[in-house]
Amino acid sequence: MTIATASNLLSQEEALSIVESTIKQSQADGVFVSLNANESTLSRFSENQISQNISRNRFGLTITSYFGQRSASASTTELDPEAIAQTIKRAEDLARFAPEDPEWVELLPPQTYDRRTPAFDLATAKVSPLRKGEIIQRVCSLSSKAKVNGSGTLSTNVSLNAIGNSNGLMACDRTTEADFSFTARQDNGSSWSNCTAWGIEQLPTEEITEKVIKKAITSRNPREIKPGDYTVIFEPAAMSGLVPWVMWNLDARAADEGRSFMSRTDDTGKAVGNRLGEQLFSPLVQIQRNPAHPLLQSGRFFGNGLSNNCLDIIKDGIPQTLAYSRYWAQQQGKEPTGAMYPIVMQGSEQTIADLIAQIEKGILVSRAWYVRYINPRTLEVTGMTRDGTFWIEDGQIAYPIKNLRFNQSLPEMLANIEKLTQVQRCGSSVIPGCQVKDFHFSSITDSV
């Protein structure tokens, strides 16, 4: 038996060579080429034992051909020259018959990207199944010892993204990522946590396991409280299920056309611009797009070629910019921004324990689950608490409570933030815990 220990990912030089060669073969007026190579692994465990271990290698080359304002795309998952040549021809044949795009914009010229190297961790790129098994074995051993049912995942991802076009744009990045998710259950008690890092050895798997086990045991036999408005302390993982919804809805076109909470309307309800520069949120809210943050160190460009540089989104509770697509920026005389991620929200030096100690009565929420729109225009959402919800009294966790459904305007939630904690990486975001006043719970749920 041979254990794979090395990554077979394309080198950056190889990827750029393929992109450049593809562009040279094109007969279209213009062409955009995107190459994505990915090696991912996933190990699952349940009932305190490993249940699945898989790895997957993927390659994709997408070619978009342009004839005037007509365009079409074709893709291949094969590297050989014949497959690439056929894909070029297919994209060109389709583009010749495609309808003209009324929102067409010309191809991007060469862009200036941050002069930094995204995190690429060799230990993660080369991690063996044996090493991952050792990590999971330790997690399962801790679960068995505590007599809880432990389940979760440990995954790694090694990616290469290269782009180029016939206007001279060319870029390539390599990144690594590791993720650990753990759920512990005992009787009717449950707890969960998740952590993500750019290197597998950065994941504090044992520390997380011990905390989750302890919380699962203390969450048993929850009591019922009445729905209503409460002061709530959200752990970072819970806030990471809510804050991104606000960022996703900072679209300039939707705001200008009256379809967003960022829209300004007159007395008749007609859209008359957007609410940039207004004090919409608590002065504590500071949010950036910052792929260079030490906990992230992610890619330097978006899939369409725009630069993913640092950008102030909300400063002192005041929105500073909206997300402008290339078309809408052209229409409005603005610069295109690219998307509003990755999200980095500023925190403080306080911990969750510090916040708990400072309130007389409130609720601690570990996780926001199944969040969905109620009203996209006002950004009111609904969702449930899950995996450990607790009543706080006189500065201490008093007892577990049954999970609650919330109906809440997220702009109002950000306006009602009173305190922040230290930040934590949650998926591709960096988020602090938050204390929020007057958060609305509408009913009790049967979720665990």
pLDDT at 2 over 70: no
Q: And the tokens for 246?
A: 């606000």
Q: Give the whole-angstrom CA distance, residue 38 versus residue 236.
A: 29
Whole-Å CA distances, 1 to 4, 20, 50, 124, 287: 10, 39, 20, 22, 50
User: Can you tell me the mean pLDDT for 78-106?
Assistant: 97
* pLDDT per residue as tens digits for the range 166-219: 999 999 999 999 999 999 999 999 999 999 999 999 999 999 999 999 999 999
Q: Give the whole-angstrom CA distance, residue 153 versus residue 50.
A: 9
**Residue 7 pLDDT grade (very low, low, confident, very high; cuts 50, 70, 90):** low
pLDDT at 268 over 90: no
The pLDDT value given to residue 6: 47
Is the C-alpha dihedral spanning 429, 432, 438, 444 positive or negative? positive
Average pLDDT score, the chain: 96
Fold of 12-211: PmbA/TldD fold (3.30.2290)
User: At residue 289, what is the residue type?
Assistant: R
CA-based radius of gyration for the chain: 24
* pLDDT per residue as tens digits for the range 297-353: 999 999 999 999 999 999 999 999 999 999 999 999 999 999 999 999 999 999 999
Residue 142, φ and ψ in degrees, nearest 5: -65, -40
The pLDDT value given to residue 270: 85
Domain boundaries, the chain: 12-211, 222-250+277-320+340-448
Secondary structure letter of residue 201 according to DSSP: G
User: Can you tell me the mean pLDDT for 84-110?
Assistant: 98
Contact (Cβ atoms closer than 8 angstroms) between residue 126 and residue 8:
no
Residue 283: other Cβ atoms inside 10 A? 11
User: Can you tell me the mean pLDDT for 362-388?
Assistant: 97
Q: Rounded to two decimals, what is the model's pTM? A: 0.95
Whole-Å CA distances, 88 to 82, 84, 95, 120: 10, 6, 11, 31
Q: Give the whole-angstrom CA distance, residue 62 versus residue 73.
A: 7
- Buried (b) or exposed (e) across 241-268, using 16+ Cβ within 10 A? bbbbbbbebbbbbbbbebebbbbeeeee
Nearest CA to 433 out of 338, 369, 323, 353 is that of 353
Q: Is 134 left (phi over 0), alpha (psi -120 to 50) or beta?
A: alpha
Is the C-alpha dihedral spanning 299, 302, 305, 307 positive or negative? negative
